């Protein structure tokens, strides 16, 4: 009678991807978040993106920290590897996972509290280490799980549910990560899957660190008049700065797009991002210009969205300076090595220690 599971019965027209899986096969368990939570829409977009990219769930590692966002990996890809870590420590866990197995597709889901308050240090370092992961911040401007206090992303002048006004300056994850050298920076909105799904796909295919900050309204504590993270406010001030289509390696870019208004950016794996309707004075590959442009839009009271910045792939893929390149790690996942190689025994340890004596 109450809180039934989502029935398995599905539409007979549901299509299968090349792995023989339907979109429903990429779902997780039922969400226990509040009805109407933006996070659930992001979950649906993640499901759609993984299904479209035909990524096998068991090749994915999904990680999270604490907060409403921390719960969400349970709701997608039930057959993926998962780790729900300590508050703000998702970046370290993901770094570890990817260090051990570079073949994993890593997706970390965090929140504005988890990333910009307690996990701020971790966030900064995972960006500069350029760990090959998709980092999603489900940004609602409040601590939802502790009843709606302002988070570090709350705008000056925005009000809490009971009317208190926030006077502390916000941390903007997009500007911050641009500063820290992130090669893929996007902002989107949980209520706009048309925009969000292609960005997630591109983010998953980007080699290195990819950030998507998704405005994700908290229906329970931050969806009122006076909030700058509500459904209404976001829609009223929405500025879809650039339209980005993700084009897999084998496909042609649709020719209907006006050439003068389009830019195509090559990615490491041969796929491309086709930017459309880009403003004339905007270059999504020019970090400094993007930074100041977004600052300008913010001053004008707009929520600038889209795949805002992407670092073009170097001509020679071996030049890529992601985490593995910087650290000089081995090419093969550690799990592929025989146990004796990974743990050569006490004698080898002694030998090693002697070198430091």
Partner 1 sequence: MLKPTDTRNPDHYHRVVDCQWGCPAHTNVPEYIRLIANGQYTESYLLNRKSNIFPGILGRTCDRPCEPVCRRVRLDGEPVAICRLKRVASDLRDDITGFLPAIPEERNGKRIACIGAGCASLTVANDLLPLGYEVTIFEKLAKPGGLMWTNIPEFRLPAKVLWEEIDYILDMGVDLRLNSPIDSLAALLEEDYDAFFIGSGAPKGKELNLPGRWDSEQIHIGIEWLESVRFGHIDKCGDRVLVIGVGNTAMDCCRTAQRLGASDVKVMARKTKPHFKASPWELEDAIEEQVEILENHSPSRFIIEDGKVVAMEFDLVTWHPGENGRLRAEKLGSKIIECDEVILAIGQDTAFPWIERDIGIDFNKWDMPIVDKTTFMTSRPGVFMGGDAAWGPENIIWGVEHGHQAAISIHAWCEGRPLTDRPPEGMNLISQKMGLHEWSYSNDYDEAERVKMRHVDLQERFKRLDIEVEEGFDIEQTLTEVERCLNCDMQTHFEANLCIECDACIDICPLDCLTITHNGTEEEVTRRLTAPLLNYPDQPLFVSEALPQTGRIMFKDEDLCIHCGLCAERCPTAAWDMRKSDLLVPYAGLAAGELHAGMSIMDLALNGGTAGGELAGAGAGAEPTGAGTG
Residues numbered 169-198 forming contacts with partner 1, rule: CB under 8 A = 190-191, 193
* Nearest distance, CB of residue 215 and partner 1, angstroms: 12
58-61 own/partner pairs: CB under 8 Å, 24+ apart: 59/103, 59/104, 59/105, 60/104, 60/105, 60/106, 60/107, 61/94, 61/97, 61/98, 61/101, 61/104, 61/105, 61/106, 61/107
* Nearest distance, CB of residue 184 and partner 1, angstroms: 25
Assess contact for 109 and 62: CB atoms under 8 A.
yes
* Nearest distance, CB of residue 272 and partner 1, angstroms: 25
Cα angle vertex 62, ends 89, 98, to 5°?
75
Which residue of 17, 21, 34, 224 would you call a contact of partner 1, by CB under 8 A? Answer: 34
Query: Does 2 help bind partner 1 (rule: CB under 8 A)?
Result: yes
Query: Does 1 help bind partner 1 (rule: CB under 8 A)?
Result: yes
- The DSSP element (H or E) to which 295 belongs, if any, is helix 287-299
Assess contact for 45 and 193: CB atoms under 8 A.
yes
Q: Which stretch binds partner 1 (CB under 8 A): 27-35, 144-152, 248-256, 297-305?
A: 27-35
Q: Which residues pair with 202 in a beta bridge?
A: none
Residues numbered 40-79 forming contacts with partner 1, rule: CB under 8 A = 40-41, 43-44
* Nearest distance, CB of residue 38 and partner 1, angstroms: 7
* Nearest distance, CB of residue 2 and partner 1, angstroms: 4
Q: Which stretch binds partner 1 (CB under 8 A): 5-13, 95-103, 201-209, 343-351?
A: 5-13
Which residue of 12, 20, 328, 345 would you call a contact of partner 1, by CB under 8 A? Answer: 12
Query: Does 112 help bind partner 1 (rule: CB under 8 A)?
Result: no
Q: Which stretch binds partner 1 (CB under 8 A): 6-14, 125-133, 260-268, 273-281?
A: 6-14
* Nearest distance, CB of residue 221 and partner 1, angstroms: 12
- The DSSP element (H or E) to which 186 belongs, if any, is strand 184-189
Phi, psi of 31 (to 5 degrees): -65, 140
Assess contact for 278 and 263: CB atoms under 8 A.
yes
Q: How far is CA 45 from CA 86, 103, 221, in A?
A: 25, 23, 23
Q: Which two tokens stand for residue 239?
A: 């500025």
Binding mask 211-240 for partner 1 (x = CB under 8 A): ------x-xx--x-------xx--x-----
Residues engaged in binding partner 1 (CB under 8 A):
1-14, 31, 34-38, 40-41, 43-44, 190-191, 193, 217, 219-220, 223, 231-232, 235
């Amino acid at each position: 009678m109450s809180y039934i599971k989502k029935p398995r019965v599905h539409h007979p027209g549901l299509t299968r991807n090349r792995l023989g899986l339907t979109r429903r096969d990429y779902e997780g368990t039922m969400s226990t978040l509040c009805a109407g939570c933006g996070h659930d829409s992001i979950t649906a977009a993640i499901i759609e993106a993984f299904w479209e990219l035909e990524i096998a769930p068991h090749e994915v590692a999904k990680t999270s920290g604490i907060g409403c966002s921390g719960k969400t990996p349970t709701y997608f890809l039930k057959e993926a590897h998962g780790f729900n870590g300590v508050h703000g420590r998702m970046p370290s866990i993901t770094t570890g996972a990817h260090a051990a197995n570079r073949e994993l597709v890593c997706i970390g889901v965090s929140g504005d509290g988890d990333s910009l308050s307690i996990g701020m240090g971790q966030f900064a370092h995972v960006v500069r280490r350029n760990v090959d992961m998709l980092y999603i911040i489900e940004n609602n401007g409040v601590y939802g799980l502790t009843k709606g206090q302002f988070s570090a992303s709350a705008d000056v002048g925005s009000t809490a549910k009971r009317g208190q006004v926030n006077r502390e300056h916000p941390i903007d994850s997009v500007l911050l990560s641009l500063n820290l050298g992130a090669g893929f920076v996007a902002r989107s909105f949980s209520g706009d899957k048309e925009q969000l799904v292609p960005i997630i796909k591109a983010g998953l295919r980007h080699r290195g660190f990819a950030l998507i900050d998704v405005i994700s309204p908290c229906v329970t504590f931050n969806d009122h008049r006076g909030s700058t993270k509500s459904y209404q406010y976001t829609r009223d001030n929405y500025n879809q700065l650039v339209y980005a289509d993700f084009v897999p390696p084998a496909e042609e870019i649709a020719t209907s797009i006006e050439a003068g208004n389009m830019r195509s950016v090559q990615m490491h794996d041969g796929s491309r991002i086709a930017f459309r309707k880009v403003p004339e004075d905007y270059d999504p590959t020019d970090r400094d210009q993007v930074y100041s442009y977004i600052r300008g839009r913010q001053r004008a009271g707009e929520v600038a969205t889209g795949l805002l910045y992407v670092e073009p792939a170097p001509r020679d893929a071996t030049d890529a300076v992601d985490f593995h390149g910087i650290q000089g790690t081995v090419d093969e996942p550690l799990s592929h090595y025989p146990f004796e190689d990974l743990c050569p025994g006490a004698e080898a340890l002694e030998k090693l220690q002697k070198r430091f004596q």
